[in-house]
Amino acid sequence: MTHLRVVPLAAGECLNLSALTERGAAWRVQTYPAGFTLLLHPTHGPVLFDTGYSARVPAAMRRWPGVLYGLLTPVRLDARETARSQLARLGFAAEEVENVIVSHLHADHVGGLRDFTAARFHLNPEAYAPLRHLHGMTAIRKAFMPELLPGDFEARVQPLDFQPAPPGLSPFPLAADVFEDGSASAVQVPGHAPGMIALIVRTTPDAALDGDGTGLSLLAADAAWSVRALREGREVHPLARVVFDDAAAERRSAGQLREWLAAHPRARVIVSHDAPEPGHG
Ligand SMILES: [Zn+2]
């Protein structure tokens, strides 16, 4: 069975109030990594799940209306930390990346897309449809910065093809087999953002979706601020729910992820804004 190596990385960090990200936490400013993941596929080579920030994000935050986004979510980024720079240090040229899987279109996830000129973008169509005509303030209100997308973005989108999910992905009704080899399955976890996806990745040849999760990694994007919050069902501060695209869908998605994790307790969990669980992917 095809399996992938999973290399969690981060490109920059954002500042937020910990009291907003977890109910009951202190009112202090904390830094959160802008995580992304490098997946090494035996035939497709380096694949990205999101990109983190690039220098284009702080640049856009110096202009109106990006300034507003920067006030709400200040960004710290060292130029050597971008996805492109880190891949180069790992021996991969940006042009070698032919596949980027995009969890959702918030700026901290698509900040580096323009650096990957040879990539197609695997995306849930429902992530893009509600945003594609937005610009200026209406886009910023959705944490969307259209200028981060390459000019030929739409031509390079490869819509994820959702089909009835195999039983091992229950309770998710649908899944998209990204490379049609069972190595990476996208499931829908909308709520934080429209059309957001999580990715369930096979990291050993014998991992089975109907097993205890050994040899599987769950890349849960922004379904929770921390691994612990996702595993234990901790909630964000009620104020933080205000920025969710759809609060009811967010709860439902978190519940489905938790249910899948309860059935696969040994799966490694990686969320975008927390340190990854240790693993051997
Ligand atoms: Zn987000």
Distance 193 CA to ligand 1 centre (A): 6
Tens-place pLDDT, residues 216-230: 999 999 998 889 999
Distance 201 CA to ligand 1 centre (A): 20
- Asked whether the predicted pLDDT for residue 273 surpasses 60, the reply is yes
Distance 50 CA to ligand 1 centre (A): 11
Tens-place pLDDT, residues 13-70: 988 877 777 777 777 788 889 999 999 999 999 999 999 999 999 999 999 999 988 8
3-class secondary-structure state, position 3: coil
CA distance 6 to 216: 10
Q: How far is CA 125 from CA 36, 64, 195, in A?
A: 20, 28, 7
- Asked whether the predicted pLDDT for residue 237 surpasses 80, the reply is no
Pairing verdict, β 75-76 and 45-49? unpaired
Query: Length of the chain in residues, anyone?
Result: 281
Domain segments of the chain: what residues?
A: 5-271
Residue 239: the pLDDT is: 67
Tens-place pLDDT, residues 156-193: 999 999 999 999 999 999 999 999 999 999 999 999 99
- Asked whether the predicted pLDDT for residue 280 surpasses 70, the reply is no
Residue 179: the pLDDT is: 98
Distance 226 CA to ligand 1 centre (A): 13
Q: Which CATH architecture has domain 5-271?
A: 4-Layer Sandwich (3.60)
First to last CA, the chain: 15
Share of the chain above pLDDT 70, in %: 96
